Structure 1
């Protein structure tokens, strides 16, 4: 399956708290704490191939309420050298449970670290929504191969919030 929704231009999206809007491309959080697909010490930008998946990925960690309580910024960026994207098909992942929302395995991080040491961009299936894809950007290898297209303040549709008064 070709997960790429792109034609001639390759775009990716990420959602950050507004206070981090200037550092969206540095992978600082993943460097400090690691992530689902990297160990601490590796700078990785986590993005999605569409804005909806980027929003769902953030909501999966903090809930929709967090997106309504604090200002966020939606960033769109372009991958300039599309040939440098390594697509990881679900059947290539050693443990299929890595693609489900559960505790991250140290072996999962090692698997992705090896890919990110070799490829500037790695495309993996989203855990938050099975038929979408996330783009991992190895900051060290991808320097100069992606650029910001736009940033805009994000506004959550408040129908997605829990109605605490109704419960």
Structure 2
């Protein structure tokens, strides 16, 4: 069982290109292209439960170099206290390979789409960093149940850009 990192308050963190900072809560990217946990056509906001995991998720899909080259914003939002959050433990995922950094399967997307049909928020283990969590927000069901806390320009620690040399 993966321990949850907080008590009482639910927060989500996103890292977006600055050009999309104002639309952080729209879910339009996932609607157009789909994602690891949704098929195209569904608006889902992908977030992490801590800023470090949000940064790793974006770097895993782009690169640290992209985070250094383009302007990004880091957004924190809060889920209202009485919102329904479905927690999906690793052993509840039908195929454990879905939690690895592989391309999503249609069955994986259908599994999560069914959860997002019933729950405005779904907490699921991260594929980018095994002991962290991602928070999926069903834009249709979660309307009015989450709000921005802060948004700031993001700066990457350039030590993450060091080239790896093998001895």
**Taking structure 1 as the reference length, what is the TM-score of the superposition?**
0.95
Q: Which runs of 5+ in 2 are unaligned?
A: none
Aligned residue pair count? 166
Q: Deviations over 1:115-161 (max 9, x none)?
A: 00100000000000000000000000000000000000000000001
Where do 4+ consecutive residues of structure 1 move more than 6 Å? none
Residues 2, 131 of structure 2: 8 Å contact kept? no
Distance 1:128 1:54 in 2: 9
Distance 1:125 1:18 in 2: 26
Specify the alignment match of 2:28 in structure 1: 28
Distance 2:11 2:103 in 1: 29
Distance 1:162 1:104 in 2: 30
Specify the alignment match of 2:142 in structure 1: 142
Specify the alignment match of 1:156 in structure 2: 156
Alpha-carbon RMSD across the aligned residues, in angstroms, is 1.6
1:98 matched to 2:135? The reply is no
Distance 2:10 2:38 in 1: 23
**Taking structure 2 as the reference length, what is the TM-score of the superposition?**
0.95
Q: Which runs of 5+ in 1 are unaligned?
A: none
Q: Deviations over 1:56-96 (max 9, x none)?
A: 00000111000000000000000003540000011110100
Distance 2:162 2:41 in 1: 36
